[in-house]
Chain A
Amino acid sequence: MWQFFHKLGSPKWFFGIAARLMPWLLAGGILLLMAGIVWGLAFAPKDYLQGNSYRIIFIHVPTAFLAQSVYVMMAVAAVVTLVWRMKLADVFVKSVAPVGLVLTFLALFTGAVWGKPTWGTWWVWDARLTSMLILLFLYGGVIALDRAINDEKSAARAVSVLVLVGVVNIPIIQYSVEWWNTLHQPSTFKLTEKPSMPAEMWVPLLLSVLGLYLLFGWLACLRMQTEILLREQRTRWVKDYVLAGRG
């Protein structure tokens, strides 16, 4: 009975919820992100050690943070796919993997550009940088594996296993700056301690992290809607939705 409920009930229900949430996610995301970025770029004080190059932090930390947290969300969805065979979880993994890829790339790119004036080099095989590069390849692998398998159910299972194997990388990224003494500076935010930065620096950073989270929510809803439409096009409600939109 539950199996039946998950298979038929969830996509339609989610589609409606997503449609209602999306305007708020988009508006809130853009507002918070812009507030954080403008504050960070123009009003936050200069860093006494790194000068103005540190202003890259206001996009570097949000993208790096999201890149990892999207992967953790995918891993949770992968467990749900494997254990409960819930369609929506697989739709989520498939829909957000490209977003994770772009975020990871941006984190690496902004990190490299920040590294040049700060460390004097674009790239070092530092533990944090290398583990982030592996995350980029994992996202690429998830996308490639999903496209390589035509059967929807086999693809869902194979992708879930890959995502779960790759989750080992997340704690490595997290603790790389503590386990190995490397060039990369330690985390700005920790759950247990107050940030070492002054408030004029960490408040805009927090705003841009939250803003990017909301924007990711919008992207996830939008892309999941697309995937649901394509998968459920044989159902009555998708037909009604598509034809009503044109009328």
Chain B
Amino acid sequence: MAFDSFSAFMVMEGHGPYVWACYAAFFLLMIGLMVWSLRRRKAAIEACRRGYEFRAGRQDPRAASASAASFTRVKVSQD
């Protein structure tokens, strides 16, 4: 250990704020980048799946009529 106590480790002889600001920015941005990239892949998979289901729905007449039926069931208030 290069420090005698935990508080000495935090203060770093006055250089603490500089050192910790750098490490905070590093972890914040790197973790942010990782989470964002993971979510993007998930969203891409989801978008592909929706695309396939949409195209399959258009090709299958039963699925098409089912979705049309649910559309007509929507009640629109006229008041």
Contacts and interface: CB of A to CB of B under 8 A. Distances in A.
A171 interface: no
Contacts of B1: 42-43
A172 B36 CA distance: 32
Contact of A46 (B2, B16, B22, B41): B2
Contact of A222 (B9, B37, B45): B37
A109 B22 CA distance: 7
Given A41-B9, A226-B44, 12 more contacts: A42-B2, A52-B16, A53-B12, A99-B33, A110-B25, A113-B21, A113-B22, A114-B22, A215-B30, A222-B41, A226-B40, A229-B45
Interface stretch (B47-55, B61-69, B70-78): B47-55
Given A53-B15, A223-B40, A59 B33 contact: no
Interface string A102-113: 100110011001
A53 B18 contact: yes
Interface residues of B, number: 31
Contact of A229 (B16, B30, B41): B41
A51 B14 CA distance: 10
A230 B48 CA distance: 7
9 tightest Cβ-Cβ pairs between the two chains A and B? A52-B12, A53-B15, A226-B41, A110-B22, A52-B15, A242-B48, A59-B26, A233-B48, A56-B22
A245 B44 CA distance: 13
A41 B25 CA distance: 15
